[in-house]
């Protein structure tokens, strides 16, 4: 008899992708196999996101499209999980509206999936959206990549930025025990992994063993495992301590890149967002980082059109983009999320103004980078090769420098997963072109 096949589709952030790896781990342990596509699958799982409305709408559309597959194969089990399903009202709505969805479950009961599948195979429909704050250790993980991967160090968020739904769906901050994190990283080193990203909604407030191990200390412990590269995300500016900057500067394995969401350049908007820093606090951090960590590149997240944002506030955002000089900015239109304070604020900004500001911001950010990559010409650095573009006549290997810059250079598939020393010979706006330096 052929094995039961599963298909997982992930929406949203790296945390969700990583949860999907745990779901895959549990399913493989049950003896199931990954399907090549939805159409071959016996179980389809959508792992959803609810950070912005756009992601939600996509899920509703895609779940609607499952009806046809269920009609063709009545045995098919459809499951929807993730952040969106941790919102009880939304989960109930989806469960009611789509009778061909067999299982709906939130982020806090990932480990119950095998039981829920057993129930569904007996013909029952299951919905589980309870809150839960304990950390589930020891779930099997099927990692998508063989040399670069993520390790969760903490769950949840206590910051309650007024626009953000995450604290409501991911719960309070809980830090994993450092021993469990180190054991996981040691296992990865043994398996040949070269780069890990330490994941959490706000990694700088990591608080292991009830305060004994803070994030800088954890970085030292992780580096001691011998892993080649350490990245982390996401960092909140309010918790970016001098001790962390010092750790970034002194630990070789820690990459010289930080993702540090600024969200806005207007002090008035930052305060309404409950971000707990001012634009000058942020710029001070940028300059401390640049002074201490050689060659660091900074990336960010920015929201435009937060309630009451005026042209002047938006102009302050453009000014901070210019002053901070971000290597990349992930930019979003403010999207009201039911249950968050900002959704109820007066002064919601019309859609056309939000789109216009987003366009202006994106063009402005791109203009600050023009010719900015030229400074890399003639420098050399290590690239961890992620893939190979075979479309051009001469195959191009590509991967990132420690500072997160993407580099292309002539090379084939055999280099994937290897660290290659590359000299940069030319620069584009969003990437660098190099050539391998043979030892």
Quote the CA–CA distance of 263 and 265 in Å, as a whole number. 7
Q: Kind and range of the H or E element at 166?
A: helix 166-170
Of 28, 58, 39, 33, nearest to 335 by C-alpha is 58
Among 81, 157, 222, 285, binds ligand SF4 (CB under 6 A): 157
Quote the CA–CA distance of 131 and 405 in Å, as a whole number. 39
Site string for ligand 5AD, 270-309 (x = CB under 6 A): -------------------------------x-x------
Within residues 222-251, the interface with ligand SF4 by CB under 6 A covers 236
Residues 6 or more apart whose Cβ sits within 8 Å of residue 220: 247, 251
Q: Select from ligand 5AD, ligand SF4, none the partner in contact with residue 52, using the beta carbon and a kind-dependent cut-off of 5 to 8 Å.
A: ligand 5AD
Among 70, 112, 337, 400, binds ligand 5AD (CB under 6 A): 337
Q: Select from ligand SF4, ligand 5AD, none the partner in contact with residue 157, using the beta carbon and a kind-dependent cut-off of 5 to 8 Å.
A: ligand SF4
Does position 341 interact with ligand SF4 (CB under 6 A)? The reply is no
Site string for ligand SF4, 133-152 (x = CB under 6 A): --------------------
Does position 32 interact with ligand 5AD (CB under 6 A)? The reply is no
Query: Please, which residue, 153 or 427, has the CB nearer to ligand SF4?
Result: 153
Does position 51 interact with ligand 5AD (CB under 6 A)? The reply is yes
Q: Pick the stretch among 19-27, 39-47, 213-221, 329-337 that binds ligand 5AD (CB under 6 A).
A: 329-337
Quote the CA–CA distance of 17 and 14 in Å, as a whole number. 5
Quote the CA–CA distance of 285 and 291 in Å, as a whole number. 10
Of 362, 352, 255, 214, nearest to 300 by C-alpha is 362
Q: Pick the stretch among 116-124, 153-161, 219-227, 387-395 that binds ligand SF4 (CB under 6 A).
A: 153-161
Residues 6 or more apart whose Cβ sits within 8 Å of residue 105: 79, 81, 85, 112, 113, 116, 126, 127, 128, 129
Q: Select from ligand 5AD, ligand SF4, none the partner in contact with residue 223, using the beta carbon and a kind-dependent cut-off of 5 to 8 Å.
A: none
User: Closest residue to ligand 5AD, Cβ-based?
Assistant: 301
CA atoms within 13 A on the CB side of 409: 28
Long-range contacts of range 163-167, CB-CB < 8 Å, 24 or more positions apart? Answer: 163/273, 163/303, 163/306, 163/334, 163/337, 163/340, 163/342, 164/51, 164/337, 164/340, 165/50, 165/51, 165/83, 165/87, 165/337, 165/339, 165/340, 166/51, 166/83, 166/201
Site string for ligand 5AD, 128-167 (x = CB under 6 A): -----------------------------------xx---
Kindly list the residues in this chain that would bind ligand 5AD in the complex (CB under 6 A): 51-52, 163-164, 261, 263, 301, 303, 332, 334-335, 337
Kindly list the residues in this chain that would bind ligand SF4 in the complex (CB under 6 A): 157, 159-161, 164, 166-167, 201-202, 236
């Amino acid at each position: 008899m052929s094995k039961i096949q599963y298909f997982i589709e992930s929406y949203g952030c790296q945390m969700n992708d990583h949860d999907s790896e745990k779901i895959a781990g549990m399913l493989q342990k049950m003896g199931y196999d990954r399907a090549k596509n939805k159409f071959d699958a016996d179980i389809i799982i959508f792992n959803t996101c609810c950070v912005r409305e756009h992601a939600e709408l996509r899920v509703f559309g895609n779940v609607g499209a499952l009806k046809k597959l269920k009609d063709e194969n009545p045995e098919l089990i459809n499951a929807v999980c993730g952040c969106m399903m941790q919102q009880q009202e939304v989960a109930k709505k989806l469960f009611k509206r789509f009778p061909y969805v067999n299982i709906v479950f939130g982020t806090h009961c990932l480990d119950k999936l095998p039981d829920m599948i057993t129930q569904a195979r007996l013909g029952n429909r299951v919905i589980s959206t309870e809150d839960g704050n304990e950390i589930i250790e020891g779930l099997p993980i099927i990692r998508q990549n063989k040399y670069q991967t993520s390790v969760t160090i903490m769950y949840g968020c206590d910051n309650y930025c007024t626009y953000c739904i995450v604290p409501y769906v991911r719960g309070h901050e809980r830090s994993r025990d450092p021993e469990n994190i180190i054991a996981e990283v040691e296992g990865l080193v043994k398996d040949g992994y070269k780069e890990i990203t330490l994941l959490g909604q706000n990694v700088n407030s990591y608080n292991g063993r009830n305060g004994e191990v803070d994030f800088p200390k954890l970085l030292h412990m992780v580096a001691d495992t011998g892993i080649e590269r350490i990245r982390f995300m996401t960092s909140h500016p309010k918790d970016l301590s001098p001790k962390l900057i010092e750790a970034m500067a002194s630990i070789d394995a820690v990459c010289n890149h930080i993702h540090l969401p600024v969200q806005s350049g207007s002090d008035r908007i930052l305060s309404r967002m409950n971000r707990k820093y001012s634009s000058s606090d942020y710029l001070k951090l940028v300059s401390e980082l640049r002074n201490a960590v050689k060659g660091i590149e900074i990336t960010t997240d920015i929201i435009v059109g937060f309630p009451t944002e005026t042209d002047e506030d938006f102009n302050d955002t453009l000014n901070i983009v210019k002053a901070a000089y971000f290597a990349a900015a992930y930019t979003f239109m403010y999207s009201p999320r039911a249950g968050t304070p900002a959704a109820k604020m007066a002064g919601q900004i019309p859609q056309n103004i939000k789109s216009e500001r987003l366009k202006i911001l994106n063009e402005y950010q791109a203009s600050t980078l023009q010719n900015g990559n030229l400074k890399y010409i003639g420098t050399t650095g290590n690239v961890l090769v992620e893939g190979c573009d075979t479309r051009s006549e001469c195959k191009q290997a590509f991967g990132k420098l420690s500072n997160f810059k993407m580099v292309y250079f002539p090379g084939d598939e055999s280099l994937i997963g290897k660290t290659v020393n590359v000299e940069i010979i030319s620069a584009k706006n969003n990437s660098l072109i190099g050539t391998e330096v043979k030892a």
